[in-house]
A and B are shown apart, each in its own frame.
Chain A
Amino acid sequence: MRLVAETTDNDLDNAANDSPVKGARRTDEWSECITLIARNEDRAAFTRLFRHFAPLMKAFAHSGSTLSANHADELVQEVMLKVWQKAGAFDPSKAAASTWVYTIARNCRTDLYRRLNKFDTSLTAEDMGYEDETEETFLLLHQQRNRERIKALLGDLPNEQSQILVKVYMEGKSHSEVSAELDIPLGTVKSRVRLAIQKLQIQIER
C-alpha cells in the first residue's frame, strides 16, 4: 500500500500498461504530485495538480449553486492553497488523492456558504470530520476496494437515483431541498438515496 509514495516518475510511465489495477495510474500520478509538494515544495507538481483539479473544482462550485463567478474563483483559489498547505498531512496509503482533494473542496464550500449566509460560528466544516486513524492493512485494502467498486457501480445506477446523489453531493442540497426542487415527496428522496447506496454495495449492516 505504500507503493504510491515510493513510485518515481519513471515507474509511473513504465507501469502504465501493465498496471494490475486498470485506471490506477491517473490516481497515482496525483498522489505523487501531493507527495512532491509535501517533500520539496514542488511548484511544477502543484501546477500539474492545479491543471487537473481546478477545472473540477470550478464545476463543483457552479453545481446547482448560487455562487457568483467571483465566489467560485475564490473557492478554487482557497481549495488549491489548502492543498498546498496541507500536503504534508496527506497519507497516500490511507486516502486516494482525488478523495482527499474532494474532501477539502467540500469543506471549503460548506464554510464559504456559511460565511455568505453570515453564520457567526467558531466551527469549520473540517472540525466536523474526524481523523481516520486506522493503520490496519486489511482495512486499508478494503477501503481501496470499496473506492474502486463505488466508482464502477455508479455508472449503472438508474437516472432517478444518480440524479439525487448528484444534487446531494455535488450541489450540497439536503434531502428536503431536493424534495422541494424536484417536487417529489421527502420519503421518495430518502428511499432513492437508500436504494442507490444499496446498489453501490456500501455495507450498512450493524
Chain B
Amino acid sequence: MANFHPETDLLTEYSAGSLPLAQAACISVHIQHCEHCQQLSNQLSEVGAALFDNLQPQAVGDELLNSVLARLDEEVPLSYAKPEGDGSSTPAILQRLISGDFSDLSWKKLGSALRISYIRTGDPKHEFALYHIKAGGRIPEHTHRGTEMTLVLEGGFSDADGTYHKGDFIFRRPEDVHAPTAVQSEDCICLAVLDAPLKFTGWKFRWMNPFLRLKAA
C-alpha cells in the first residue's frame, strides 16, 4: 500500500480530465496501486457529475438525434475490448506505451548507478522516462527548473524527506533540491515526468546543465 500520494488539488485536476497527458498517465499508475486514491478520485468524479447535471441544457435539434440513430448499427471499434491483464507486473498504461518489459527498452547510461529510458507518450510538453537506479546508487543532487512527478515502480529510494516504496508518488516543485538514493537491498525503477530539464547542483555534474534538454513527445 502506498504511503505517499498526490495532493488533493492534483487529484482534482486528474478527475476533471484537465491534467496534461503524461502527468495524467503517471497519476493513473499510482491509482492502480492505491485503493485510497481510487476512492478519492471516484468521489472527485462525482463533483464533475453533479456539476454536469446542473448545466443549463442547450437545445439539440432532431437532425443530430437522427444522425446518431442512423449510426447505431456501426461496427463497434475493436479498441473497446480491453485487453485482459496478462499477469505481467508492468502497469497496464505502460504496457500500452512500450512493447515487452523493462529489459527490452533502450537504456541510456548516466553515471555508474543510473540508467534512463525515455518513453514517447505524445505529450509535447512533458518528458516521460523510466529511471533505473542500482541498489544503493545515488542520483546526483539536483533541483528542478519545473515540476517533477516520480512514481516508484520497483524497489525503493530515499531522500532527505523520506523513504519511498512501490506505488509511492512524489511531486517536486522548482525550488526543491534532492539527491535520491536507491535502497540497499534492490535496484529501483521509477517513472519520472518532467516539464523542464533537471538542474544539477553538485560541482561534479554542474557542467552538464547547459546541455540538458527536455526529451518530450
- Enumerate chain A interface residues (CB-CB to B < 8 A): 41, 43, 46-47, 50-51, 54-56, 58-60, 62-63, 73, 76-77, 80-81, 84-86, 96, 98-99, 102-103, 105-107, 109-110, 114, 119-125, 127-130, 132, 139, 143, 146-147, 150-151, 154, 165-166, 168-170, 172-175, 177, 190, 193-194, 197, 200, 202-204, 206
Contact = CB atoms under 8 A, between A and B. Distances in A.
Contact of B72 (A46, A59, A60, A175): A46
Contact of A206 (B28, B36, B51): B36
Contacts of A154: 47, 50-51, 54
Q: By DSSP majority rule, is chain A's interface helix, strand, loop, or mixed?
A: helix
Contacts of B14: 128
Contact of A50 (B31, B50, B68): B68
A76 B60 contact: yes
B56 interface: yes
B123 interface: yes
B58 A43 contact: no
Given A193-B9, A204-B40, A77 B122 contact: no
Given A129-B28, A168-B13, A56 B53 contact: yes
Given A59-B58, A150-B47, A76 B64 contact: yes
A151 B46 CA distance: 8
A128 B38 CA distance: 12
Contact of B12 (A43, A114, A168, A170): A168
B5 interface: yes
Contact of A194 (B8, B45, B217): B8
B58 A169 contact: no
Contact of B122 (A96, A120, A172, A206): A120
A34 to B, nearest CB: 14
Contacts of A130: 28, 31-32, 38
Contact of A170 (B24, B44, B52, B64): B52
Contacts, number: 185
Given A50-B68, A130-B28, A193-B8, A173 B18 contact: yes
Interface residues of B, number: 61
Ranked 3 nearest A-B pairs via Cβ: A121-B122, A55-B57, A99-B49
A147 B56 contact: no
Contacts of A121: 21, 121-123
6 contacts: A59-B57, A102-B45, A120-B122, A121-B21, A143-B42, A146-B43
A36 to B, nearest CB: 14
A106 B20 CA distance: 14
A109 B17 CA distance: 9
Given A43-B69, A63-B55, A119-B21, A102 B49 contact: yes
A105 to B, nearest CB: 7
A169 B9 contact: no
Given A54-B64, A119-B123, A132-B42, A174 B93 contact: no
A89 B72 CA distance: 17
A165 B20 CA distance: 18
Given A50-B65, A81-B68, A166 B51 contact: yes
B204 interface: no
Contacts of B47: 150, 154, 165, 169, 197, 200, 202
Contacts of A99: 45-46, 49
B21 A197 contact: no
Contacts of A200: 47
Contacts of B48: 102, 106, 169-170
